[in-house]
Structure 1
Amino acid sequence: MTYVALTPLDLALAAALLVVNGVISWAFRLGLERSLAISAVRMVVQLALIGLVLKFIFAQSSPLWTLLLALVMVGAAGFEVVSRQHRRIKGWRAFGFSSATLLFIGMVITGLGVGVIIGPDPWYAPRYILPILGMVLGNTMTAMSLVLDTFSETANRERAAIEARLALGANRLEALSGVLHVSLRTGMMPILNSMATTGIVALPGMMTGQILAGVAPVEAAKYQVLIMFLIASATALGSFFGGIGAVMLLTDARHRLRLDRINAPK
């Protein structure tokens, strides 16, 4: 069994389904028609370009090309973490922190999944490393975005209570423990919901893609289990580091709350 190739007409028919989104936006006066069109075009262009790039990298099988694309992916993910915030942290520190965290988690989790568990030959095979790294980064990015956004919003809302705890002698971790708790729960909730419903409510993208490509369903399920465990651990690490980083970014060495480091809401 082989996969069924899609023609440009097939993709055009699928794109026509976006009319439903446009109609809902127009009917409820959401004003999302332009954003929807731009996002759709951006997605198609990005996927077309990455398809060509991956075709080239897969043909080279060079660790240097694989590393270069991995760094580009990490940088783009770090930028998205910062840009998604309703209240952005000023300066370059948030981007630097996000990118460094994503790089560390991506290397550790992808290295474990590919180099230790799957063990392809060669170990740096881009057709294994890059797709798994992409899934790890995508989910970690989402978790960190949720944690940072929830943290800044909650800290701003509970500013008086936090400063009162600091004034009474609590250190920054103690004063912000409640905010950190809420933020970590928010960051980890999507993967918990995903694991609880995977296989019953939804067939995940990787498993669906392998099945459509002709892989036996049982083998596809094995890979999906592996990916879900990798993503879950990456999400937990991203949430943890994101929460601790938010504490450090929004306080100083004298344990003062520094909400002046946050820009006004977008």
Structure 2
Amino acid sequence: MSEPVALWQVALAAGLMLLSVGLSVWMKLGLGRDILVAGVRMTAQLLLVGLILDWVFRLNTPVPILAIGLVMTLLAAQAASSRPRQRYPGLLLDSFLSVFVSSFLLTGLTLSGVIRVRPWFEAQYAVPILGMVLGNTLTGVALSLDRFTGDLRARRGEVETLLGLGATRWEAAHPLIRDALRTGMMPTLNSMLVMGIVSLPGMMTGQILAGEHPQNAVRYQIVIMFVLAASSALGSLSVVLLAFRALFDGQDRLRSERLRGQRDR
């Protein structure tokens, strides 16, 4: 079993960021400052999370666990809602509802029904699993929402023509909904296709480095990947349907005036 990583070793690894900065300077990418800011921010955030989790893991009550989960969900929804280039009123709420329902539902099912953690709110399991599910759901929600609203703006004429010819709002929007769902789900599916052959996932690698038996680590990773695939599908479907509801009215009309590009605000 490996020894704990010291702070000086973390600082040594941080020096590897200079490779990215050097590449940015050499190729004139203009990303040097962004790389440094991202590295510092990531380090500070993870060190802070480590301190918080050290405190949380000592607790034996679900209230602080749920509170932390809600804060994580709100931050994930904020990040997801900031990515689409086309926006509409209520986008943040739709993102929050989609992320919250899919992440909490699937994390709860995993803890109580699959892994069978006792108690179900055991922080050692609940917080890391929820964090992984939230991160994956965030990506699916952001990508599918960006694709749906972007296509709706770009293909407005096609959609309105179908509506004018008597199509229902669902019939007119169905191709856009389908493409948006495919976009939201594709990253997780692509990751699953090459997992174990091209890439070794972080959770499994971390468990093995911590001394866990490889077979047990693999089983945990398989469970998590199935959960992540489900969260990606459910989150993408939820947010696209909510966006569909917001941008089409009950009279089968496209409310394109509700869409605003980020530069239009």
Aligned to 2:136: 139
Tell me whether 1:250 sits opposite 2:255 in the alignment: no
Counterpart of 2:208 in structure 1 is 211
- Candidates 182, 202, 208, aligned match of 2:199: 202
Deviation at 1:250, TM superposition (A): 2.0
In structure 1, distance between residues paired with 2:30 and 2:260: 25
* Structure-2 residue corresponding to 1:27: 26
- Could you tell me how far 1:149 is from its partner in structure 2? 0.5
**5 Å matches for 1:106-185?**
106-185=103-182
Equivalent position amino acid for 1:65 in 2: P
Report the Cα offset of residue 76 of structure 1. 0.6
Question: Offset of 1:242 from its aligned partner?
Answer: 2.1
Q: Deviations over 1:63-115 (max 9, x none)?
A: 111011010011111101111122233x3x11111111211112211111111
- Match for residue 262 of structure 1 among 236, 248, 259: 259
Q: What percent of counterpart residues are identical? A: 41
* 2:94–2:243 CA contact under 8 A, matched in 1: no
3-state SS, counterpart of residue 120 of structure 1: coil
3-state DSSP of counterpart to 1:179: helix
AA matched with 2:35: L
Moved more, 142-151 or 115-124: 115-124
Query: Unpaired runs of 5+ in structure 2?
Result: none
User: Which residue of the other structure, out of 217, 220, 224, is the alignment partner of 1:220?
Assistant: 217
Distance 1:108 1:75 in 2: 16
Give 1:54-93 correspondences, 5 Å limit.
54-89=53-88, 91=89, 93=90
CA distance in structure 2 between the aligned counterparts of 1:30 and 1:152, rounded to whole angstroms: 29
User: CA shift at 1:255, angstroms?
Assistant: 2.3
| RMSD (Å), alpha carbons | 1.4
Amino acid at match of 2:244: V
| Contact persistence 2:107–2:133 (CA under 8 A) | yes
SS of the aligned residue for 2:260 comes to coil
What is the total number of aligned residue pairs between the two structures?
A: 263
- Long gaps (5+) in structure 1: none
Aligned-partner Cα distance in 2 for 1:258–1:120: 47
Shift of 1:263: 2.5
TM (norm. structure 2) is 0.95
Shift of 1:220: 0.3
> Structure 1: which 4+ aligned runs deviate by more than 4 Å?
none
Residues 141-177 of structure 1 deviation map (CA, whole Å, 9 limit, x = unaligned) = 1001000001111111111111111111212211111
Offset of 1:23 from its aligned partner?
A: 2.3
- Which residue, 76, 97, 101 being the options, matches 1:100? 97
Q: For the Cα contact (< 8 Å) 2:85–2:146, is it kept in 1?
A: yes
CA deviation after TM superposition for structure 1 residue 245, in Å: 1.8
8 A contact 2:98–2:141 mirrored in 1? no
